[in-house]
Amino acid sequence: MTENSEVAELFSNYVIPNYARKPIAFVRGKGTRVWDSSGKVYLDFLGGIAVQGAGHCHPEITKAIQAQAERLVHVSNLYWTENQGLLARELSGLSLKGKCFFCNSGAEANEALIKLARYWGREKGKFEIVSMKNSFHGRTLATLSATGQAKVQAGFEPLAPGFVYADFNNLASVRDAVTEHTAAVLVEAVQGEGGVIPAQPDFMKGLRELCDEKGILLLCDEIQCGMGRTGSWFGFQAYGIEPDAISLAKGLGNGFPIGAIVTKPGLSDVLQPGTHGSTFGGTPLACAAALATISVIRGEKLVERAAAAGEKFQSPLKAMVGKHAHLAEVRGAGLMVGLVLDQPAKDLADKLVDMGLLCLATAGNVIRFLPPLNVKDSEIEDALDIINDAFDEWNGTAAPEEEAKPADA
């Protein structure tokens, strides 16, 4: 077994230091648990940042990847492969009923949404995308330009043109940002990296009405809140509205890299041959992983489980507000949960990880939890105990506001 110090040396010598990594080397995972190279076990309430919806190394998904890896891994998108068609049918049926495009990551899925909107609007002179302040849409040049956070953009100017920002949960602000050049409004149903902030029902309904009124597209970034995490298959479904297209990634392949967009039928044939592509997008292997992931989420009723487990986790946390100093608020949807502190959260998050509970400080003062959707009740209770103990031992710090830190993704 490689010791942590040897891994540390490999990273410090050979891996570009663009992440603030914790000095832990993980070697194995099962369900909600992961083990590091010293044998220490952690409860994974981060789920690889909303990726491990079905838990680590789910046997059905592992089997599907193994079986497909023995048959056919990749042939390119010059040909049909059955798995891609089957996955497209699944995602279409679960969401917007139109067609899908496949890629490999969240940023790439949002790139596809942005290109779809621009291509759709090209003859009408519509190209601008209105996105929200405090949003997160990825790290490529177009998606960081769509991301309404200076800390993500700083140093990478000039940004891609054609992006304007409005205030999240403020319909008037979005209305003000829409011009004759606007092609689409891009929004997360629950802002994840921005601090686990759910959209208000009136806001999402109002966005749909505004987009209909102006004849523009409503695009939902479902990369973090999709695939059952919030207690519906997709975050938008809790609002009784339908966007025109959505982007997916994170939980779609339970850790196997895959991204996708799904459109409404009216947008299904906008992108014609030659307009867009991705060599690795939707390989038979990636689609096998995603098909198995969907089969597990459906078979084990994990969407319902996310809602019920979210309640089991969130209500005791809410009861801690007022009991623990510095805990200001608990918010979220299903198993997308944020503890809001009245001061920087990094110290407490580090403490929780030391105590064996993986989580992440985000947006400065929020601790984010994104456990597997099949997290057991006993694991939720264990996590709550750890959180209680951590608060008891931690009395807050008088640390000044943190410097802007790079975001997590």
Phi, psi of 16 (to 5 degrees): -60, 130
Whether 102 sits among the annotated catalytic residues: the reply is no
CB of 297 to ligand PLP, least distance (A): 18
Angstrom distance (rounded) from CA 118 to CA 267? 12
Token digits for 377? 């009740």
How many other C-beta atoms can be found within 10 angstroms of the C-beta atom of residue 63? 12
Q: Does 128 bind ligand PLP (CB under 6 A)?
A: no
Q: Which of 52, 105, 149, 343 binds ligand PLP (CB under 6 A)?
A: 105
**37, 202, 284, 337, 385 from 184: Cα distances, Å:** 47, 19, 32, 28, 45
Q: Is residue 192 a contact residue for ligand PLP (CB under 6 A)?
A: yes
d(CA 290, CA 305): 19
Q: Does 223 bind ligand PLP (CB under 6 A)?
A: yes
Select 34 or 114, whichever has its Cβ closest to ligand PLP.
114
Establish if 332 lies at the interface with ligand PLP (CB under 6 A): no
Q: What is the DSSP letter of 301?
A: T
Q: CB–CB of 208/224 below 8 Å?
A: no
Using the contact rule CB under 6 A, the part of the chain among 58-66, 131-139, 151-159, 307-315 near ligand PLP is 131-139
Q: Please state the closest distance from residue 107 (CB atom) to ligand PLP, in A.
A: 3
Cβ proximity to ligand PLP: between 243 and 386 the closer is: 243
Binding mask 5-44 for ligand PLP (x = CB under 6 A): ----------------------------------------
- Cis check for the bond before 23: say yes or no (omega within 30 of 0): no
Q: Does 111 bind ligand PLP (CB under 6 A)?
A: no
| H/E element, 42 | strand 41-44
Is residue 136 part of the annotated active site? The answer reads: yes
Contact 80, 287 (CB under 8 A): no
Q: Which stretch binds ligand PLP (CB under 6 A): 99-107, 155-163, 286-294, 374-382?
A: 99-107
Q: Where does this chain touch ligand PLP (CB under 6 A) — which range of 32-40, 187-195, 370-378, 390-398? A: 187-195
Chain position carrying tokens 């177009």:
142
CB of 152 to ligand PLP, least distance (A): 11
Among the listed residues 102, 120, 127, 136, the single contact to ligand PLP using CB under 6 A:
136
Note if 221 is an active site residue: yes
Q: Is 107 in the site for ligand PLP (CB under 6 A)?
A: yes
Residues contacting residue 383 through CB under 8 Å, at least 6 positions apart: 43, 45, 313, 357, 369, 371
Angstrom distance (rounded) from CA 131 to CA 123: 22
DSSP 8-state secondary structure symbol assigned to residue 120: H
Helix (H, G, I), strand (E, B) or coil at 44: strand
Residues binding ligand PLP: number (CB under 6 A): 16
With binding defined as CB under 6 A, does residue 249 bind ligand PLP?
A: yes
Which residue among the candidates 99, 221, 234, 346 is catalytic per the annotation?
A: 221
In the complex, minimum distance from the CB of residue 2 to ligand PLP, in angstroms, rounded to a whole number:
27
Of the pair 262, 327, the CB lying nearest ligand PLP is at: 262
- Among the listed residues 126, 163, 168, 250, the single catalytic one is 250
Residue at token pair 């807050």? 396
Contacts 24+ apart (CB under 8 A), 143-149: 143/107, 143/110, 143/111, 143/114, 146/110, 146/114, 146/186, 149/194, 149/407
Q: Are 357 and 386 in contact (CB under 8 A)?
A: yes
Q: Which of 29, 47, 48, 106 binds ligand PLP (CB under 6 A)?
A: 106
Q: Which of 48, 138, 235, 255 binds ligand PLP (CB under 6 A)?
A: 138
Give the one residue of 221, 253, 260, 390 binding ligand PLP; rule: CB under 6 A. 221
What residues are labeled active site?
136, 221, 250
Applying CB under 6 A, which residues contact ligand PLP?
105-107, 110, 136-138, 188, 192-193, 221, 223-224, 249-250, 409
